Structure 1
Amino acid sequence: MSDKLNLTGVTTAFGHDADGLFQQSTQDIPQYFLDSLAEQRHANAQKREDDFMSVASIPVVIVDKWMREGFNIMSGEHTAAEIVKKLKAENLEAFLTTEKRV
């Protein structure tokens, strides 16, 4: 497994249906990336944290979707706990890098 992550970019497509025009964004997430996050999650369970702790690795397409919904994780107005809660609410636990409480 390579330490270098090579995610393909976000692909945007436009279409129309009975409701009108729509935009659809997709991003390929390789399985080795998800496996790496799972390994981090399990390894961090026994590790003592210092000043900084990795909590999640969220793909751009998810961050973009949340921003359009009014949940901007880049603004600093949301805590790590709120971000973790949102990931869990949307069944996106695979992007968490720890099982510890934040």
Structure 2
Amino acid sequence: MWSAWIESTRIADLKEKISQLFLTDSNSITSKSKLFITIPALFSIELNAHSLTYLALLVADQQITEEALNISLFNSQMCEATFRAARSMSGPFSSVV
């Protein structure tokens, strides 16, 4: 939806809105791509939103407990600890986990 809005909005309108919000000169902005996040970042946000929505639906249907919504527990440090443990179980010359 966000990407469709970007594509359908004229660059002049975007420049005007940005200059009003940030009190900048609208002529200094040259392209739409400089105004917004990258496509990979957009995909990441979209995947996270879908995952959170799915978790909320599972909790609402009482298929999982409310503790699954403790999103702060799902961080990269926990994943790194798991991968570190898996690597330590493999041999010293193996790069496959």
Name the TM-score, length of structure 2 as normaliser. Answer: 0.25
Higher helix share: 2
Higher strand share: 1
Name the TM-score, length of structure 1 as normaliser. Answer: 0.24
Which structure is richer in relative contact order (CA contacts within 8 A, separation 6 or more)?
1
